[in-house]
C-alpha cells in the first residue's frame, strides 16, 4: 500500500521546453543579441541534454553545466561567449516566468491531495526550480519539496532517498512510490533505494531490461489508479 509519492518535476509534472524557449528569447532581448529564431531554439535541447548527461555521469560538476551549455549554444551561432555566465543567470531567473504543466499533472496532484503524502524530489537547481514550483501553484498542493542542491545528493544516489524518507518520517520503504520520466535518475534511483517505481513513458520508448520497472504509464493521470488500487 503506497502512502507516499515521490514526484519528479521536469517532464513529469511540468514541461520544461516552452519555458526554456521563452527564457532564451527573453535573454536575447536582454543582451541585445538580435533575433532568436526557432531554428536556433531547436538546437538548445540537444546541447542541454549533452551537458546534463556529462553531469549525470560525473564527468562535469553542475556549476560547469549551467554556464557551459550557453557557451556552446552562443558559440554555435557565432555570438559573444564572454557573456555566457551572465546569460546563464538571467536564463535561470526567467525560467519560472513561463509555466507549462504536463497533461493531467495538476489535476492528478489535486486529486491525490490529502489521500497520500506527495513530495517533489528534483535534481534541478534551486534558483530556477523555486520560481517554477511557486508560479505553478504546485507548492500549495504537495506536502514537501526536496531539491538535490539542498540535500547534497542527487537522484539516482541512494543517499538522497535515505535523507528524504528520514525527513518525511517514513520508515517503511514498501509504502513509497517514485514517479518520474527518467530511467537514469528516477527509475535507477528507485532501484538503488529499493522503493517501487512508476515510469512515465510519454514518448512510448522501448522498455529497458536492466532496470526494475514496477509500473509503466503514458499519462500522469494513471497514477491515482496505481496508488489507490494498492490499498487493501
Query: Where on the chain is the footprint of Mg ion (CB under 5 A)?
Result: 8, 10-11, 181-182
Min dist CB 200 to Mg ion, Å, is 8
For Mg ion, the closer of residues 71 and 118 by Cβ is 118
Give the shortest CB-136-to-Mg ion separation in angstroms. Answer: 15
> Is omega for the bond preceding 156 within 30 degrees of 0, making it cis?
yes
CB of 223 to Mg ion, least distance (A): 15
Least distance (Å) from Mg ion to the CB of residue 70? 21
Residue 146: CB minimum distance to Mg ion, A: 14
Between 40 and 65, name the residue whose CB sits nearer to Mg ion.
Answer: 65
CB-wise, 10 or 56, nearer to Mg ion? Answer: 10
Q: Which is nearer to Mg ion, 15 or 90 (CB)?
A: 15
Residue 74 or 120 having the CB closest to Mg ion:
120
In angstroms, what is the minimal distance from the CB of 35 to Mg ion?
Answer: 31
- Give the residue with the Cβ less far from Mg ion, 127 or 228: 127
Among 112, 170, 120, which residue's Cα sits nearest to residue 7?
A: 120
Amino acid at each position: 500500500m503506497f502512502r507516499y509519492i515521490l514526484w519528479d518535476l521536469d517532464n513529469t509534472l511540468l514541461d520544461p521546453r516552452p519555458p526554456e524557449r521563452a527564457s532564451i528569447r527573453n535573454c536575447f532581448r536582454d543582451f541585445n543579441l538580435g533575433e532568436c529564431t526557432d531554428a536556433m531554439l531547436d538546437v538548445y535541447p540537444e546541447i542541454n541534454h549533452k551537458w546534463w548527461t556529462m553531469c549525470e555521469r560525473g564527468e562535469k560538476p553542475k556549476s560547469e553545466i549551467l554556464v557551459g551549455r550557453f557557451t556552446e549554444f552562443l558559440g554555435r551561432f557565432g555570438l559573444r561567449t564572454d557573456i555566457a555566465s551572465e546569460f546563464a543567470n538571467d536564463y535561470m531567473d526567467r525560467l519560472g516566468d513561463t509555466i507549462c504543466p504536463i497533461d493531467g499533472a495538476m489535476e492528478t496532484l489535486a486529486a491525490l491531495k490529502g489521500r497520500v503524502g506527495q513530495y517533489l524530489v528534483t535534481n534541478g537547481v534551486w534558483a530556477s526550480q523555486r520560481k517554477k514550483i511557486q508560479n505553478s501553484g504546485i507548492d500549495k498542493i504537495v506536502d514537501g519539496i526536496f531539491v538535490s542542491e539542498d540535500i547534497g545528493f542527487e537522484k539516482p544516489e541512494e543517499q538522497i532517498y535515505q535523507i528524504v524518507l528520514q525527513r518525511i518520517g517514513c520508515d517503511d520503504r514498501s509504502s513509497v512510490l517514485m514517479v518520474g520520466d527518467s530511467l537514469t535518475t528516477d527509475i535507477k534511483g528507485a532501484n538503488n533505494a529499493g522503493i517501487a517505481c512508476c515510469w512515465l513513458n510519454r514518448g512510448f520508448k522501448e522498455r529497458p531490461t536492466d532496470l526494475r520497472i514496477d509500473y509503466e504509464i503514458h499519462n500522469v493521470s494513471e497514477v491515482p489508479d496505481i496508488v489507490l488500487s494498492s490499498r487493501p
